[in-house]
Chains A and B, each alone.
Chain A
Amino acid sequence: MIVLEGVGLSYPGGLFGGAPKPVLENVDWVLPEGRVFGLLGPSGAGKSSLAKLILGLVAPTTGRVRIGGRDWRAQRGTVLRAMRRLVQYVPQHPEAAFNPRLSLGAAMRELFRLHDLCPGERREAQLGAALDRVGLDRALLTRFPRQVSGGEIQRLSLARALLLEPRYLVLDEATAMLDVSIQARIMRLVLEVAAERGMGVLVITHDIHLAHAACEAVYTCENRGVHVLPGLVQQQPAG
């Protein structure tokens, strides 16, 4: 379960740059596992900041962000690494999400070493299975990020996230750059996997239709806070 308690975030104003700029204030939000939520909002409202808070990439100025009961901020070393596996991320620009100087295969195989996912001899099989699941050919692995199409790399980005078997997946405008038919196919794939694994999904988007179609509940991010979008709530789960 992801829990935000009284979370506030402001960016520093610089040495001579005046007062700090608040982005979020006093946000309380609970995201249980196994459910699919949407987050809507105009650009600049703090959607990406929320994603970074949840992913532990940014520390809140006030309050706490906890994953499975653990505060991001208190974690170090192996515990932190294990915690990282719990929440994975598919960003908006997948072509920028891979190191341009590493082959895609190298980028994927690094994960095994990083988390010691499975014994060496089973790694290739596991990687193959992950690619199969998102419908990609293994030949892709010898290429570099700029040598593949947007749809392919977005799938690969998804495969990378799923390989770590997270409890949560955050999609940050993950399909916004793709054309509609591919967009729908990827969303369907995500929902299938989420259902199979009982994984929670947060879909950050500015596409209200997509949110409606895919999510059990939709929130908006406005006025430095998170609000339930009325009329679309199916059921607010208990904290």
Chain B
Amino acid sequence: MTAMRLSVPSFLVVLGTILLVPVAVGLFRDPTGISLADALIAPSPAFPFGADHMGRDVLARIAYGFLWDSGLSVTIVAASLALGVGLGLAGGYLGGAFDGALTIVMDLLVALPHLVLAIVLMAYFDQGPVALAVALTLPGWVKYARLARARAAALREADFILMERVVGAGPLRILLRHMVPNVLPPLAGLAALHLGHTVLNVAALGFLGLGLQPPTPEWGGMILESRPYLYQAPWLAITPGCFVFLFMMIFTLLAARLEARAGEGEREDAHAAA
């Protein structure tokens, strides 16, 4: 996505506004209040995005769905980042048997389709938010670890790291104070893209009935729940779909922006690892 010539920052502001304004409004409304009398009401002043088959306010469910989807995705990306950078640095810096084992585990995990792995994990575990976070973090950390490991292996031989050892810094200090700050910046673009993908995957799992379970407001689950009413109430499917799309688009553009900043050389690493 480096081929982006759109005026990315202004575009991001516009898209972000479209996403966040309804969310901000919807958070003041009730996402779970069931009122069967209001079932399948079309968009109107009382229900700007309509009401679903339980008479629940779709605007409120979109807003709380945003909290769930984005909150979970941020958690998953943060956990993947921490795990990936931690393991990757340790592997790259320590080398030896640990690095060998890490390489094998990473090769095994990249060779499996991530969504398939997550689907299988979700099907066999209690389908709550914790399980979902674990199921998507498990394959998610690998791309960070690959990059971090490569950078750490290069940094290990860097003069300034050698000098830290000469002046007596311990391995933990070297890792945290000197390696991490030098490994993280190129990962920002990757993380932005990962965040978008994670929302997409959370929603896809929800759509397959394997993600967060109803009545939790979650965008993919909302699309699944709306399928039977595609005719009478198409807005039920269209609205959450648009929000997933919007979210993913924002982070794709952001990733492009961050990647362009991170520079040409590191871009190639990111593609190879992704």
Contact = CB atoms under 8 A, between A and B. Distances in A.
Direct contact of A and B (CB under 8 A): yes
Interface of A: 52, 55, 57, 80-81, 84-85, 87-89, 91, 93, 96-102, 110-111, 114-115, 160, 164
Given A97-B159, A100-B182, 5 more contacts: A84-B166, A89-B166, A91-B159, A93-B159, A164-B168
A88 B166 contact: yes
Interface in B13-29: none
Contacts of B158: 96
B169 A99 contact: no
Given A84-B168, A114-B168, A114-B169, A101 B163 contact: no
Contacts of B167: 84, 88, 111, 114, 160, 164
A96 B161 CA distance: 9
B163 A97 contact: yes
A110 B177 CA distance: 10
9 contacts: A57-B166, A84-B165, A87-B166, A88-B167, A99-B178, A100-B182, A101-B181, A110-B169, A110-B177
Contacts of B178: 99, 102
Given A57-B162, A91-B162, A91-B163, A99 B182 contact: yes
Interface of B: 158-160, 162-170, 173, 177-178, 181-182
Contacts, number: 57
Nearest to B162: A57
B166 A101 contact: no
B175 to A, nearest CB: 13
B73 to A, nearest CB: 28
Most buried by A among B160, B164, B165, B177: B160
Contacts of B177: 99, 110
B182 A101 contact: yes
Nearest to A93: B159
Contacts of B160: 96-100
B163 A89 contact: yes
B95 to A, nearest CB: 11
Nearest to A77: B170
Contacts of A96: 158-160
A114 B178 CA distance: 14
A140 to B, nearest CB: 17
Nearest to A87: B166
A42 to B, nearest CB: 21
Nearest to A80: B168
A101 B181 CA distance: 7
Interface centre among A57, A89, A97, A99 (most CB of B within 10 A): A99
Contacts of A115: 168
A87 B166 CA distance: 8
B93 to A, nearest CB: 14
Nearest to B185: A101
A77 B158 CA distance: 23
A81 B173 CA distance: 13
The 7 closest A-B pairs by CB, nearest first: A84-B168, A96-B159, A81-B168, A97-B159, A89-B166, A101-B181, A97-B163
A85 B166 CA distance: 8
Contacts of B168: 80-81, 84-85, 114-115, 164
